[in-house]
Amino acid sequence: MIMMTMILKADSNNVINGVPVNEYMLTNHNPNNIEMPSASMEGKVIGITIHNTDWITTIEGTTPAEQYTRATVNGNMKDVRVHYYCDDTCAWQNLPLTLSGWHAADGDGSGNRRTIAIECIMSSAYNDTDKKSEDNCARLAAALLKMYNLSIDNLYTHTYWLNVRDGKKGSIDELNVMYNSYKMCPAYILPHWNEFKAKVQSYMGEPAPVPKPKTARKYLYRVRKTWQDTKSQVGNVIKLRKSKIITGIKKIL
């Protein structure tokens, strides 16, 4: 018997921010009756959650994102349901954006219930293919943030939601990369998360933040006849004028 590999045929193909996106909704295709999430995200989306999943080698004519989608349809992805799988050439959308996924391991928390999940397919090698996957993921995340009128601060890591779940405190930037013993995800992007974030921001059409130039420190001087004689103070001056200096000078930071 010859086993035929049935590669999925997408219902539609769109190009989003330069990324070809194949739409294959599990809500429309569920021949194996896999369990499906049911919580609505209509009007509730607060951000995008980035994940990494491992690179897989595929046969000709398909891509890892299609294969992960097919694995989901075939019931081989356990209870993971994400909105997008993204590889070096394209993305496959599995869930409508109005439906919550199962990806953040935070139960009914906002990660699962209120964010759109992108699984970026990469390896630890961080080779050119991995970088292309990451670039596609950044483009897609940027388009989604803009679509929902969200800002770059609404870009989350999977680990962010685990840290929130575990009661850790910190800013979004801190919690996005803070160590979590359960899982560090997206494992291959986290080591350069700030770079990734800047890339997403640039794909949103916003200039990447420019570090503020350090201004030269200015000292204030108080000039008095004597330091005790407060009434004689001529004011706070930035530059010392020699003629005004009598006896009392104090440098204030």
Give all strands of the β-sheet with 220-224 in edge-to-edge order. 236-237, 220-224, 248-252
186 or 224: CB nearest Zn ion: 186
Token pair of 222 as six digits:
């108080």
Considering the rule CB under 5 A, would residue 83 count as an interface residue with Zn ion?
no
In the bound state with Zn ion, the residue whose beta carbon lies nearer, of 13 and 76, is: 76
Size of the site for Zn ion (CB under 5 A): 3
C-beta closer to Zn ion: residue 51 or 139: 51
HEC profile for 170-183? CCHHHHHHCCCCCC
Interface pattern 164-203 for Zn ion (x via CB under 5 A): ---------------------x------------------
Please report, to the nearest 10 degrees, the dihedral formed by the alpha carbons of residues 45, 49, 55, 59 taken in order: 10
Nearer to Zn ion, 186 or 201 (CB): 186
Return the beta strands (E) in 79-184 as ranges. 84-86, 91-93, 115-122, 155-157
Q: Smaller CB distance to Zn ion: residue 160 or 203? A: 160
- Token representation of residue 184: 């560090």
Residue written as token pair 């009392």: 248
Out of 139, 158, 197, 224, point to the residue binding Zn ion (CB under 5 A).
158
Q: Which stretch binds Zn ion (CB under 5 A): 46-54, 109-117, 161-169, 220-228?
A: 46-54
The Cα 253–Cα 241 span in angstroms is: 18
Determine, following the binding rule CB under 5 A, whether residue 81 of this chain makes contact with Zn ion. Answer: no
Binding mask 51-80 for Zn ion (x = CB under 5 A): x-----------------------------
> How far apart, in whole angstroms, are the C-alpha atoms of residue 93 and residue 82?
8
The window from 72-80, 150-158, 187-195, 217-225 that contacts Zn ion (CB under 5 A) reads 150-158
Report the distance separating Cα 46 and Cα 92, nearest Å: 22
CB of 6 to Zn ion, least distance (A): 28
Question: Distance (Å, rounded) from C-alpha 156 to C-alpha 47?
Answer: 7
Shortest gap between Cβ of 7 and Zn ion (angstroms)? 25
Residue type (1 letter), 244: K
Q: Would you give the DSSP letter of residue 48?
A: E
CB of residue 185 to Zn ion, shortest distance in Å: 3
Q: Which CB sits closer to Zn ion, 19 or 162?
A: 162
Q: Which residues bind Zn ion (CB under 5 A)?
A: 51, 158, 185
